Chain A
Amino acid sequence: MIAKRRTNLLYLMILWLSISALVWPAFVLASTLLSWFAGQSWQLDAWTQIPKREILKQFIQGYISSAVFAAAIGLVAVIDHALLSRYRLTWVLGGILLPVAGIVIAYVGYQNPEIALPSLVLTGLILAVVHRLADIIAGNSRRGRLR
């Protein structure tokens, strides 16, 4: 029982760290994908007009600056897991809190939510996929956790 709880805690810790670490790259990926379809963004022009090291510098700077928010999103993933992974019915919805968190951030953090909403929702969806993959890899769906 204690071993199972420890394993679960370890899984939650890994989930928190991995989701937190992936928040910024997922946000950049989502924004870049949407920019590519929309045709314009800083990174599309920067790719041809400034050295790649400058883009990397901006990426790292964003990574550091967003760390607090990323940690909070990681926590959302943990809460999501705790709330939704217990029952088969709710397990289907696992990860849903991540795009929801994206919507909340867009409306709370931005004066014009519409500029950030698509990117943040897509970021949430990417993270939700990662979250679900982690769940499957950890074997949570096989080990009889689901009821």
Chain B
Amino acid sequence: MNNNLRMFDSRQIHRLITGLLLGASTALIPAVALQADTTAVMVGGGYDIHGSQGQIELNVKWVQGVLKAQNTNVETFFTDGDEAGVDVHFNLPSNQQNSTMEPLARIFGDWVLENRRYRENTVPDVSGSTRREELEPALRQIIDDSADQDLLLIYNGHGSQSLSTPDHVTLNLWDNTTITANELHGLIKPRSSPFRFIFTQCYSGGFHRLAYKNPTQGLELADNARCGFTAESAYRLAEGCSASIETDDYRDYTTYFFSALSGYERNGDIISQDPDLNKDGTTSLREAHLFTLEEAFSTDLSRSTSEDYLTRWQPWYLRWLPSQKNLPNNEYSRIFRDLAVRHNVELTETVVTDIRESIANVDVRVADVMQQRRTLREQTVQLQIQLQSALINQWPALLGPYTGAYQDMADRGELLEIVRQLNDNAVYQKLKDTQDLDHALDDSLLQLEREATQYQKLLRMRHLSELKQQLVEYGSEQEKTDYQSLLSCEESPLVAQ
């Protein structure tokens, strides 16, 4: 009995209890959400087959599921819609990567491509494609039809940076079409009902300009409630565009954000912490965002429109000043303290300089890994050239993989013979080890990047905590009202009732 009890530590027991409570509340959601007054639009997928990763498709399907569980009508637009033809690529799971052609792919081709497969999307209930010329009129129609409802726009795909102003960042749509934040601002201009968005692509922060009257500059908010949540700022890449379809690889903003809203992780586990901070029985979008800030171990420095407002609001006479040592008491300082404990950062007088030192240490390790990777890649090329010339001397048809000679050689089963010989070849084994090590270094780099982001997030939480206090002390009444209206917009549940 005692042994059995020892199998569960206090964290597991806490998770179990939280899970049971969350599970029970989630089960009740469909019953109370029948009068849902929100139209949700889901736009997803890549800009072409090479930019349409399996993870995006799975994210879209998962979010669809979460929204449908809350009895919401979701209009989904994905890649080429229902058109025939492949529009998604994915990597084979590691336990299925056993192609006989692997040695030849390692020597002649792209080893990554060897394990890549292509297929048609399996997203259910797709309303249409995301091509600009089809999506724009469809969105216009939805915006008109939902004039008296809340509108929630979710985007899961890729985005591009703007070299001018942040409102020129783009959503990269199918067939390499785009729509900028400025253009989307024009689309939603006629709306008088609330508009919310959750964008998870690279450079998504530029879309916070949707909340303002002037998309290019200024702090005056639009007349209707508009707010959103983005994975990143207008200047940084976001995590979450992997071709991997293994759930352990999911670290993007969608994963954490919708986990908080649904109560479940991607693998079906119940989430470890209750995101409902005010204990009103509903997880609001803002609570989901704060949960993500705390829980996400990714390269994303996510932000909400109210946070974007704070950073834009900060006046010139405060912006450049050094930060204060003592943090004010608000939600950001709480997250700062929790994150510090989680990442073993001691909350001493020198905490900020310690964090900067940690970032510098990670940078040194990154530089070291990059150097190792450069060396490995040089070695790989040398070994490939060595093996290629040896093989081509013996089997000249290998030079032209799209020729009849190559086809004849394949028909005679010689490719398999080459593979057999290669498997016993010491140089090939060395190439394999080098490439595997290179691949492992990619993972290490990503891990280091995630680690550095956690430290940067700590600094950002401190900064936001201070900004919020500064707004109280130095903001005008109008600025405080605007900030409060953004907060109320963000405090909405996923589905307005």
Please, how many angstroms separate the alpha-carbon atoms of A66 and B316 in the complex?
Answer: 8
Interface 1/0s, chain B 468-496, versus A by CB < 8 A? 00000110000000000000000000000
- Evaluate contact between B356 and A116: CB separation under 8 angstroms: no
Residue of B nearest to A109 (CB): B317
Please, how many angstroms separate the alpha-carbon atoms of A105 and B353 in the complex?
Answer: 29
- Evaluate contact between A38 and B352: CB separation under 8 angstroms: yes
Please, how many angstroms separate the alpha-carbon atoms of A114 and B301 in the complex?
Answer: 30
Q: Which residues of B contact A40 (CB under 8 A)?
A: 322-323, 352, 356, 459, 462-463
Interface 1/0s, chain A 57-82, versus B by CB < 8 A? 01001100110000000000000000
Please, how many angstroms separate the alpha-carbon atoms of A6 and B462 in the complex?
Answer: 54
Q: Which residues of A contact B462 (CB under 8 A)?
A: 40
Taking the nearest CB of chain B, how far is it from the CB of A109, in angstroms? Answer: 7
- Evaluate contact between B321 and A45: CB separation under 8 angstroms: no
The A contact surface, by secondary structure, is helix
Taking the nearest CB of chain A, how far is it from the CB of B329, in angstroms? Answer: 15
Q: Which residues of B contact A54 (CB under 8 A)?
A: 235
B236 within 8 A of A: yes
- With a 10 A CB-CB cut-off, give which of A27, A32, A39, A111 has the most chain B CB atoms: A39
- Evaluate contact between B323 and A41: CB separation under 8 angstroms: yes
A20 within 8 A of B: no
Contacting residue for A42 out of B233, B320, B350, CB 8 A: B320
B460 within 8 A of A: yes
B355 within 8 A of A: yes
Q: Which residues of B contact A48 (CB under 8 A)?
A: 456
Q: Which residues of A contact B459 (CB under 8 A)?
A: 40, 45
- Evaluate contact between B235 and A116: CB separation under 8 angstroms: no
A130 within 8 A of B: no
A84 within 8 A of B: no
Quick one: given A38-B352, A51-B235, are A45 and B320 in contact (CB under 8 Å)?
no
Interface 1/0s, chain A 10-37, versus B by CB < 8 A? 0000000000000000011001101101
Q: Which residues of B contact A28 (CB under 8 A)?
A: 320
Residue of A nearest to B352 (CB): A39
B2 within 8 A of A: no
B189 within 8 A of A: no
- With a 10 A CB-CB cut-off, give which of B316, B319, B322, B462 has the most chain A CB atoms: B322
Quick one: given A49-B456, A111-B474, are A38 and B323 in contact (CB under 8 Å)?
yes
Please, how many angstroms separate the alpha-carbon atoms of A105 and B235 in the complex?
Answer: 35
Which residues of B in the span 328-384 have a Cβ within 8 Å of any Cβ on A?
350, 352-353, 355-356
- Evaluate contact between B233 and A49: CB separation under 8 angstroms: yes
Contacting residue for B319 out of A44, A62, A114, CB 8 A: A62
Contacting residue for B321 out of A37, A49, A116, CB 8 A: A116
B314 within 8 A of A: yes
Which residues of B in the span 298-323 have a Cβ within 8 Å of any Cβ on A?
301, 314-323
Please, how many angstroms separate the alpha-carbon atoms of A22 and B252 in the complex?
Answer: 46
- Evaluate contact between B456 and A42: CB separation under 8 angstroms: no
Please, how many angstroms separate the alpha-carbon atoms of A34 and B352 in the complex?
Answer: 13
Please, how many angstroms separate the alpha-carbon atoms of A28 and B322 in the complex?
Answer: 10
Which residues of A in the span 96-112 have a Cβ within 8 Å of any Cβ on B?
109-112
B324 within 8 A of A: yes
- Evaluate contact between A119 and B321: CB separation under 8 angstroms: yes
A137 within 8 A of B: no
Taking the nearest CB of chain B, how far is it from the CB of A79, in angstroms? Answer: 23
Taking the nearest CB of chain B, how far is it from the CB of A141, in angstroms? Answer: 34
Taking the nearest CB of chain B, how far is it from the CB of A77, in angstroms? Answer: 20
- With a 10 A CB-CB cut-off, give which of B235, B314, B317, B321 has the most chain A CB atoms: B321
- Evaluate contact between B235 and A35: CB separation under 8 angstroms: no
- Evaluate contact between A43 and B316: CB separation under 8 angstroms: no
Residue of B nearest to A28 (CB): B320
- Evaluate contact between B236 and A49: CB separation under 8 angstroms: yes
Which residues of B in the span 237-291 have a Cβ within 8 Å of any Cβ on A?
none
Taking the nearest CB of chain A, how far is it from the CB of B495, in angstroms? Answer: 34
Which residues of B in the span 407-426 have a Cβ within 8 Å of any Cβ on A?
none
A115 within 8 A of B: yes
- Evaluate contact between A35 and B323: CB separation under 8 angstroms: yes
Please, how many angstroms separate the alpha-carbon atoms of A110 and B235 in the complex?
Answer: 32
Quick one: given A42-B314, A49-B235, A61-B316, are A115 and B321 in contact (CB under 8 Å)?
yes
19 new A-B pairs (CB below 8 Å) besides A39-B355, A43-B320, A112-B473? Answer: A31-B321, A35-B320, A35-B323, A39-B350, A39-B356, A40-B463, A41-B322, A41-B323, A42-B314, A42-B319, A49-B233, A49-B236, A50-B233, A50-B235, A58-B316, A66-B316, A115-B318, A116-B317, A116-B321
What are the 4 tightest A-B residue pairs by CB atom distance, in nearest-first order? A39-B352, A62-B316, A39-B353, A35-B322
A-B contacts, 21 listed (Cβ < 8 Å):
A28-B320, A35-B320, A35-B321, A38-B322, A38-B323, A38-B353, A39-B350, A39-B353, A40-B323, A40-B356, A42-B314, A42-B319, A42-B463, A49-B456, A50-B233, A62-B316, A109-B317, A112-B324, A112-B473, A118-B322, A119-B321
